Amino acid sequence: MRKLHIFVLFILLCLPATAQDINWLSFEEAVELNKTTPKKFLIDVYTDWCGYCKKMDKNTYDNKKIAALINKDFYAIKLDAEQKDSIVYKGKVFKFMPRGRRGSHQLAIDLLNGKMSYPSTIFLNKEENILDRIPGYLEPTIMEKIVVFFGQEIYTHTSWEAFETSFESSL
């Protein structure tokens, strides 16, 4: 019986991660991967103390269909807007900037264009140019639309308004 338990444990450990898990990367990992395999970026800008950030993790990012859509079309990045570690990007060193009670990371400030709102979701194209900045908590049904719009590059030929009226959710 013990051998059977060990065998089952071995099989479970060898299985790939489930489809519902988003493959979160650091900013540096995503940029490095993008050099050889270009893909769009989805950046979740959050803080540890943000209640809506935690709610979005639980309700939106833990949704199996949302996770599958994100993994398919994006490098997903979690960026703590208050992280202390420096990030080197496009030849510039971005650092933590102490301000007020908490402070902010320079990269988060730049990506959010100084409008610090948590959570915020940023979409970059394969060339790492900003497609959109979306502040606030996003319900799964709204996130699904946005991820399809940018992930399938519908934005290149259809307005958001036209897309939104014809979109049918799979959630």
Per-residue pLDDT of the chain (171 residues; tens, 9 = 90+): 444 343 433 333 344 444 459 999 999 999 999 999 999 999 999 999 999 999 999 999 999 999 999 999 999 999 999 999 999 999 999 999 998 888 999 999 999 999 999 999 999 999 999 999 999 999 999 999 999 999 999 999 999 999 999 999 999
Contacts of 89 (CB under 8 A, 6+ apart): 27, 28, 31, 107
Q: What whole-number distance in Å separates Cα of residue 76 and Cα of residue 39?
A: 10
Residue 51: both structure tokens together: 């209640």
Q: Is CATH 3.90.1640.30 what the domain over 17-166 is classified as, yes or no?
A: no
Phi, psi of 135 (to 5 degrees): -80, 150
**pLDDT of res. 125:** 98
Q: What whole-number distance in Å separates Cα of residue 110 and Cα of residue 116?
A: 10
Opening angle at CA 11, ends 7 and 12, nearest 5:
115
Can you give the residue ranges of every domain in the chain? 17-166
- What is the residue type of 159? S
According to DSSP H, which parts of 116-159 are helical?
A: 140-151
**pLDDT of res. 101:** 86
Residue 59: both structure tokens together: 């309700």
Q: What whole-number distance in Å separates Cα of residue 23 and Cα of residue 77?
A: 8
Q: What whole-number distance in Å separates Cα of residue 151 and Cα of residue 75?
A: 11
137's torsion region: left (phi>0), alpha (psi -120 to 50) or beta? Answer: beta
Per-residue CA distances from 21 to 46, 71, 89 (Å)? 18, 9, 27
What element of type H or E holds 167? Answer: none
Which residue do the tokens 């650091």 mark?
A: 26
